Every structure is written in structure tokens, then in C-alpha cells.
Amino acid sequence: MASSPSSFVLILILCYSIILLLSQLTNSESIQEKQALLSFLNQTPHENRLQWNSSDSACNWIGVECNSNNSTVYSLRLPGVGLVGQIPVNTLGRLTQLRVLSLRSNRLSGKLPTDFSNLKLLRSLYLQDNNFSGEFPTSLTTLTRLTRLDISSNTFTGNVPFSINNLTKLTGLFLEKNAFSGSLPSINVDGLISFNISQNNLNGTIPRTLSKFPQSSFSNNLNLCGDPLPPCNSSFFPSPSPSPSNSPSKQVKKSSKKLSKAAIIAIAVGSALILLLLLLILILCCKRRRNKQPPKLPKPIPRSVLTETGTTSSSTKDEIGVGVSESERNKLVFLDGGVYSFDLEDLLRASAEVLGKGSVGTSYKAVLEEGTTVVVKRLKDVTVTKREFELQMECLGKIKHENVLPLRAFYFSKDEKLLVCDFMNAGSLSALLHGSRGSGRTPLDWDNRMKIAISSARGLVHLHLSGKIVHGNIKSSNILLRSDLDACVSDYGLNPLFGTSTPPNRIAGYRAPEVVETRKVTYKSDVYSFGVLLLELLTGKAPNQASLGEEGIDLPRWVQSVVREEWTAEVFDVELMRFHNIEEEMVQLLQIAMSCVSTVPDQRPSMQEVVRMIEDLNRGETDDGLRQSSDDPSKGSDGHTPPEARTPPATRTP
């Protein structure tokens, strides 16, 4: 009798562990992390609308994002959900794989749990707008991967620790609106571009390492002095009279006027950069909000958000003002006439990463705190005036087509020209075609290559016909892909911004022969570039990436030489060889490509004709749905005839 209750308990335990084991096998995310998250939410009062269903995968929970195979939690974002009280120990501190943690705009208080020091991989930490207190949390100074740390608008006290210097990756440090006291340590982190310590109780000299930041980064403190604020009073050197020529040996804080000018310029440039980044983020944010809740944002006129504020004297100093103030002239201009509502703060706190350096400038991926992503392009060597720039942008902004990447916004100032567009997850054709070759990648199959060819061609037709715009820079890295591999052309219509000083279509491999001399891109030169793109799809080979004058593979010539001498399937991408019964289509597409790369512009078809030809080729395909799964290799062997070479024979094979 006595044994039956205990065996019952045993069975219960057994069942429980089996269930646990099973759930561990079926749920890919770590059980540990799920429990940590649940116990955080259970112990922390919050709004009712925040509910996590414990039988669901944590990766589906509001605010939780996992890595790509859902094995671990990468980010936790719970802004403004009414969390109250102290963060319990042994909860969030167990999410050791976390990259992003945002708990901003809640009513959290007390000290941060010390086990935050376990979050070694954390890159962004947003705790602003809460009521955290105590000294600067030392656990944070061990998180050496941090790039953005925001603990502003809390009630932290005590000194700002020197050990912040351990956070060598920081790009943004926001400590404003707290009650820090004492003097500022010499924070010397190379990459730091945003810093704010305003509205605290600090006194003493601003260290030279921080004097590159604007006055507003230091305002409203007890008694801070020195560059960029007014100079400190020295007992043995009355400062009011500006006699900067030779300051006493050790008085570094009294830096000369020259230094402060340089600092002001640095600040102006720096703040312009930061503003640009912010603008990008804002755009993303707006777009997202607009999609989600259109009725909330009734403003019909695009709001220009980015204005130059602060340090006005310095930022306008170098401008050739024509009666218009800097703040009116330099704005982020949205192009799609949509309704935007941003939180400038959100933009400022966005993180940016370089996507690539192209022929027209550098592209950045900017991630808003909430997770929205945009691409910001910094154009270099723009030669046109602001008016011309704006006209061209307006023209480009009007283009709407599913195969053309829309331009969302632009920014023009003397030093900075930015374009903002959507971020495409699936990357570029170039990456898909040439990325990690040979290392177990999934080859791009024929159907998808055809899809990319036809959709990008349609985008170009729209540019040419409806937009009256020459793309001018067709290459595989400017063909961006949606997740279904539908293509979008990007970077179009920018050549007019660079004048004639630079060769259009700077990647030699795609440039039509006549462009080298005329320096002018035309519809027909677009067709040539598109032909090279088709050859790239067919051969899997990248055209010459070198700039003007350098040697490399000339794809059209190479294909012509192979095709002329003896027809072999060798021109085609080896990755396509595994698919059966596609030879005929490949040959037909090759013929289209070859007509596009004709050296005589007039012999090239127009983009409309190219689309029609590819579509005709596709039509046969739909009758034969089983084409690729068929094992009969005989079909299509008739296609082994050399395509008509319309151009003179290649003189040499590179």
C-alpha cells in the first residue's frame, strides 16, 4: 500500500522528463532560453497585451527573434510594454546568445542584475526611459561587443567609470538625463560617433578625447567646462581674455582657438553623418508604421525630418548661403509622397553596416531599433548642383514598377549626398551566382535564372519606356532579388549626377564599346550591358570587374570565340549541367544575349524586343512542366547549333 503513492510519483517524474525530452527534440530553440524568458515575464508586471504562449515556440513570441535555424534567441525587444520593477536575476542574464536587448520606455527600476555580464555577445542595449538607479552598472563594462549603449533618461548616480574604455566597439553612448556626478573620465573609443552626457550633475573639465562632440552633448550639467563649452577658469591664468597663443605647459584643457575650430568642423561633419543615418532609419520606420496602421498617420505631406540643428554657427559657416538657412536647405526628402511619422531618436540609435562599395559610392544597411532595415547609399563625386540633383531625384522617384527598386528618399548637402531605398533580403544576383562557389552552395537553377532574366528585363523596359530613363549601370550586383527570386533593378539613372568627368558604367565588363569613346550611356548601351548580364547568367562567369584600362575576361568575346570555333556546351555554367532538357532554351537565350552585345548599337534589339523574345522562349517551357525532372537527356540535343554571330569574329581570346 505504501509503495503505490511513491511509484505514482516516480511515474509522474518519468512522464515529465519524457515530455521535456520530447519537447527538446521537437522545439528547436533552447528550452533554457524559453524558460528564462518566461520566468522574466512571469516575475515582471507588464501590460496584458504582452502575452507569450508557453506551448508555442519562443521564436514566435512578440518581441523575440531567433537566429536563422531558430536554435537560439538573438534579440529581445520589448519597448513600451509597461514592464514594472526590477529585472529579476537568473532570467534575462541566461540569454547568453542575445545580440540585441531593448527594454526602453518601460517603468523598470532598481539596479541591473549582475548576471547581465553573461550577455557577452550583446551588441545593442537600449534601456533608456526607465527608472533604473544605482551606480553605472559595472556588468556592462565587460560586454566588449557592445556597439550601442543607451541608458539615458534613468536615475543612475555616481561617477561615469573609466572602464567604459573597455567597450572598444562602441559607436554610440547615451548617458543623458541621469544623475551622474563627478568629472568625466577620458573616454577614448575610436569608433565613437554619438555621445551624450547632457542633463547630469557633472563638473570639471571635458577631456580632450570628448571635445569633438557638440555642445549639446554636454549641456545642462553642474559645472562642466572646456572645449566645446566655454573654457574653464584657472586660478593662475585668468581666461576671459582670449590669449590663446601659448597656454601653460600642462593646461591641456585650455586648448587654443584653432583646435576649437577644428573641433567644430569635426562636429559639424560628424553630426551631418549621424543625421543621415538617422534619416535612413526614420524612413524605414515610417514605412513600417504606415503599412501597419495607416489611419493613425493622416498627414498627407512628406515630412522633412532631417534638419541641421545645434552648432548653427559652425555648420553654416562654410556654406555659400543664398538667403536660405542651412536648416531649410538640408532636409531628408521623401519621394513617394507617403505619410511618414518618425521618432528621430529611433533614427539616431540605428546601427549601420557597410554592404558594399560600388562605383557610385558606398552602401550601408541601416537597422532601426525596432528591426526595420533600409539601405542608405552615400554617393561620391557628385558634380551637379542641388537643383539638378533634386530634379533627377524627382524624376527617379516617380518610377513605380515591381521590378524596379523604388527610391524612397534622398538627402543633399554640400558634403553629403544620400539615397535611401528598401533593403532586399535575398541579396544581389552577383552574390547568388558567384558567392561561395564550390563550397556546398545550392546552385541557382535554370528556372530561377530565367525568372531573373525576364523580371529584370521588364524592369528595364519600364525604365526606358515609362520613365524615359537610361539605367546606365546594369550589372549583376545591381540586380536585387526578392525572396521569391523576382528581380528588381537598382542604381538606375544616376549617371547624370556625375557629369562627364567620370566614365559611365564604370565596370568595364558591362560597358558597351561605344561608351568608352562617347562617355554617354544610352538605351542601346543598356541593352548591351543587359546582354552581358544574360551571358553571366548562362555561363556563371563574372565579367571583367576591373575599371577602365585593366585586363580581365571579356565575356562577349570569350563566348563568341567558343561558339564560333566549335559548338560545345562548355560555355554554359557547369552548375546547369545537372538539369536536363534545358539546352534548347539555353541556346535560345544565348542567341538573345549575343544579339544584345552586338558591337554596332543599331543592331541591338530594344529592351521591349528583348522581353518579348525571352517571353516567347518561356512560353514553350510552360507546355513542358516536367522538363527539369525528366531523365531523358536526348531532348534539346538539336539545339546544338551555333547561334548566329552578328558581330565580327573576336580577334583574340582573353
**Nearer to ligand NAG among residue 166 and residue 606 (C-beta):** 166
Taking the C-alpha atoms of residue 521 and residue 527, their distance in angstroms, rounded to an integer, is: 10
Nearer to ligand NAG, 231 or 504 (CB): 231
Q: Minimal distance in Å, beta carbon 311 to ligand NAG? A: 9
Q: Which residues contact 178 (CB under 8 A, 6 or more apart)?
A: 151, 152, 153, 154, 155, 156, 157, 199, 200
Q: What does the alpha-carbon distance between residue 269 and residue 585 come to, in Å, rounded to a whole number?
A: 54
Q: Residue 356 CB, nearest distance to ligand NAG (Å)?
A: 23
Of 27 and 448, CB closest to ligand NAG: 27
Determine how many CB atoms are found less than 10 A away from the CB of residue 14: 10
DSSP conformational letter for 547: -
Residue corresponding to grid cell 558567392: 435
- Which CB atom, from 196 or from 495, has the smaller least distance to ligand NAG? 196
Residue from 541, 608, 526, 599 nearest 573 by CA = 541
Set of cell numbers at residue 130 = 526607465
Nearer to ligand NAG, 184 or 507 (CB): 184
CB of 164 to ligand NAG, least distance (A): 9
- Cβ atoms 460, 356 nearer than 8 A: no
The SS3 assignment for 136 reads: coil
Compute the least distance from the CB of residue 201 to ligand NAG, in Å. Answer: 8
Q: Alpha helices, DSSP H only, in 302-385?
A: 312-317, 326-329, 344-348
Minimal distance, residue 177 CB to ligand NAG, in Å: 6
Rounded CA-CA distance 51/111 in Å is 25
CB within 8 Å of 71: residues ≥ 6 apart: 28, 29, 30
Residue 99 region by backbone torsions, left for phi larger than 0, else alpha for psi between -120 and 50, else beta: alpha
In the complex with ligand NAG, the residue whose CB is nearer, 79 or 204, is 204
Grid cell, residue 45, equals: 508586471
**Distance of closest approach, residue 138 Cβ to ligand NAG, in angstroms:** 5
CA–CA separation, 612 and 606 (whole Å): 10
Kindly tell me which of 66 and 78 has the beta carbon lying closer to ligand NAG.
66
Nearest CB to ligand NAG, comparing residues 224 and 366: 224
Q: How many CA atoms lie within 13 A of 455 on its CB side?
A: 23
Closest distance to ligand NAG from the beta carbon of 438 (Å): 21
* Least distance (Å) between residue 249 CB and ligand NAG: 20
Report, in Å, the least distance between residue 403 CB and ligand NAG. 26
Nearer to ligand NAG (CB atom), residue 168 or residue 653: 168
CB of 66 to ligand NAG, least distance (A): 6
Non-local CB neighbours of 293 within 8 Å, separated by 6+ positions: none
Footprint on this chain of ligand NAG (rule: CB under 6 A): 28, 53, 55-57, 59-60, 66-67, 69-71, 107, 109, 131, 133, 138, 141-142, 155, 163, 166, 176-177, 181, 183, 196, 198-199, 203-204, 214, 216-217, 223, 225, 232-233
As a whole number of angstroms, the distance between CA 217 and CA 206 comes to 11
Shortest distance in whole angstroms from residue 197 CB to ligand NAG: 8
* Smaller CB separation from ligand NAG, 226 or 643: 226
Report how far residue 131's alpha carbon sits from residue 110's, in angstroms, rounded to the nearest whole number: 7
Q: 3-class SS at 518?
A: helix
Residue whose C-alpha cell is 567620370: 502
Q: How far is the CB of 85 from ligand NAG (least distance, A)?
A: 10
User: What whole-number distance in Å separates Cα of residue 121 and Cα of residue 113?
Assistant: 17
Residues with Cβ within 8 Å of residue 230, at least 6 apart in sequence: none
> Residue 642: is the preceding peptide bond cis (ω within 30°)?
no
Tell me whether residue 148 or residue 462 sits nearer to ligand NAG (CB atom).
148
What span, in angstroms and rounded, lies between the C-alpha atoms of 487 and 464? 17
Nearer to ligand NAG by C-beta: 228 or 397?
A: 228
CA distance 139 to 373: 30
